[in-house]
Amino acid sequence: MNVRWGEVAGALFTFLILVALPLAAVNYLPAQTLEQLSATGLNIQSLATEMAMLGLVVSAIALAKAVADRTSVAYLLLDISSNIISLIFALLVVGVGNIASLGLSSFSLQQGKVTTEIVLDLRIFIYITICVVTFSVLQSIVKFREARSEANQMPRPN
């Protein structure tokens, strides 16, 4: 088994950034900030938990890619799933916890008799991310086919 230690270190770094950091960051937010965010309908604890779950999946995929052979179908599937998970992560972050909103989020703040409606239309970023992920999947397939053809052309020892 050929382990690529640089990719293992990358998977560990990904775990720290995408799992540990969101869960720890929520504990350091002031209570007043959490109350204000809750008043808008945004559950920051739920958002951090969802980000951490996706981060755990991304880390596991990165770790599995570190030990998989680049010419195997498993590596191709892991690479494609990694690209798709990055799209889901972008949907989660840009949609502020609501994946189905596709980047169109709205919040309402009420102070006294005044209600303020905030609408964030970030759908262009989702469309760009969809294009990037599509090209990344195609690139993964091309790299896989190139690695396979190079492996087939190399002479095998007897």
pLDDT at 141: 93
Give the CA distances from residue 8 to residues 25, 87, 149, in Å, rounded to whole numbers and listed in that order.
Answer: 24, 22, 26
Mean pLDDT value across the chain: 85
Question: pLDDT tier at 156 (50, 70, 90 boundaries)?
Answer: low
Q: Amino acid identity of 66? A: A
User: pLDDT by residue (tens digit) across 35-92?
Assistant: 877 777 778 888 888 889 988 999 999 899 888 888 889 999 999 999 999 888 888 8
**DSSP string across 38-82:** HHTT--HHHHHHHHHHHHHHHHHHHHHHHHS-TTSHHHHHHHHHH
pLDDT at 1: 61
Handedness of CA 88, 62, 45, 31 (dihedral sign): negative
